[in-house]
Amino acid sequence: MIDCARSGESTIVGDIVPRTHILNNNEQNLHVGIVSESSLEHASGVTRSVREVTTHLMDGGHRVTIVCPSPAYYEYNGAEVIATKSISLKGFDVGHKPQKKFQKLFTQLGIDVLHVASPMDTPGGVLFLGGNAIRAANNLSIPIAAIYQTDAVRFSSHLGFGFAKPVVKKILSDMHNLADVNLAPSSASVQDLVDWGVCPETIELWGRGVDTEAFNPRFRMSPAAIALRESLAPNGEIIFGVVSRLEPEKRLHKLQIVTDIADTKLLIVGKGTEQDRLQEKFGPDAHFTGRLDGEELSSAYAAIDVFLFPSVTDTFAQVIQEAKASGIPAIAANRGGPRDLIEHGMTGFLYEPTAKKKKDKALREYAAQLTEDHELRVQMGKCARASVENRTWGNLIRNELVGHYTRAIDVRHGKK
């Protein structure tokens, strides 16, 4: 029998100690400017976190203004949304706004603190929003909280720009060193920032919340989940599943190694530029749903028996938390964010990934083990759910994020 009591323990990396800042009830409400590199209409972890942060800040009496690439809504849950011009780059809507225009905008808005979600930059600030936003706020002495969320260094390799890694590291470190507080989602991403030369004194460990009502084992009995299981696994087969953007860096081709395990099916939820290639590669061995939202997504998670995640570039991997909240054990590559999210042998398994063209045999071995061992699969699912029940977005935003903003304000005043 697995002891779930130890699941969800925090990790300390080197000299970086996770700190929780509780906002005093007497402290004033803030006007938070959020600059996001991801459009609010894009399906990504960055977009999800921006939406949740906005909702809970507004509910807490704070004011929020969002700047993001187009296409975007005019407002989101009462917060004004300002969309910038954008171009499409490898399936992403990449925005741009000159530094001077950011300075003018921030002056007009009168924001108290700048929250930059997954900031990116290029030499001269010709693309992306984060770099110019950070420089503009720094010039205006506006406190800055930069949220490290996209592994741009490793991601550049998947875009075919591996030769530019040293330049990307320098750009990221210069940009984050202008921020008063840098928030990293996992122990691995904290270490990345330190290795790239970001001042450790500015780095805080701040994870992500999960909606434990929207992602819940009770959806296993929803009509949509029952219909999906009857369609995909009519003879009671075990369903392996993944929820992800279908992009090269997610390494979803690695899942082909599990398709020959007897009495199993593979469910792939999401869309992206790799969809046609993956459908051709997997053929009838995988069922693709496209992008799902709302209760359809909740039901799809709950219909899965074992969650698989082969990506090695995710700084957090929010989909693993959503799977855990749905009561599903997860198997993921032992890289990046999943290291903190999966308690090996308790809520799932971590495996050592192989090179791009080699097969991840360890992934198959763990998947086969959970297929054969019903009791272990059920117990791990229960532990997975228990490990995230207190990790709601409300707790992480009201009790931690606003406190990080306060620290950024204090640090900026100290710099003055």
Residue 63 resides in a domain:
yes
Residue 76 resides in a domain:
yes
Side chain identity at 144, as an amino acid letter? I
401/383 same-domain check: no
Per 3-state DSSP, the chain is made up of helix, strand and coil in percentages (nearest 5) of 45, 20, 35
> Who wins on pLDDT, 395 or 160?
395
Q: Closest by alpha carbon to 254, among 340, 365, 356, 101? A: 356
Residue 321 resides in a domain:
yes
Residue 155 has pLDDT above 80, yes or no: no
252/379 same-domain check: yes
pLDDT of residue 356: 78
222/247 same-domain check: yes
232/200 same-domain check: no
24/114 same-domain check: yes
99/221 same-domain check: no
Residue 3 resides in a domain:
no
Across the chain, mean pLDDT equals: 90
The CATH number covering residue 314 comes to: 3.40.50.2000
Residue 1 resides in a domain:
no
The arithmetic mean of pLDDT across residues 307-312, rounded, is 96
66/103 same-domain check: yes
Domain enclosing residue 97, as ranges: 8-209+392-415
The arithmetic mean of pLDDT across residues 75-82, rounded, is 96
List of residues 6+ apart from 231 with CB closer than 8 A: none
Q: Kindly report which listed range (321-325, 349-353, 393-397) carries the lowest average pLDDT score.
A: 393-397
221/164 same-domain check: no
200/272 same-domain check: no
Residue 276 resides in a domain:
yes
The arithmetic mean of pLDDT across residues 114-138, rounded, is 95
pLDDT tens per residue across span 96-106: 999 999 999 99
Burial grade of 165 (CB within 10 A; 0-12, 13-18, 19 or more)? middle
202/238 same-domain check: no
Tally the domains of the chain.
2
Residue 349 resides in a domain:
yes
Provide the whole-model pTM. Answer: 0.83
106/201 same-domain check: yes
pLDDT band at 323 (very low <50, low <70, confident <90, very high): very high
Give CA separation, 66 vs 83, 263, 335, 340, 403, in Å. 8, 47, 31, 29, 20
Residue 15 resides in a domain:
yes
275/404 same-domain check: no
pLDDT tens per residue across span 383-399: 999 999 999 999 899 98
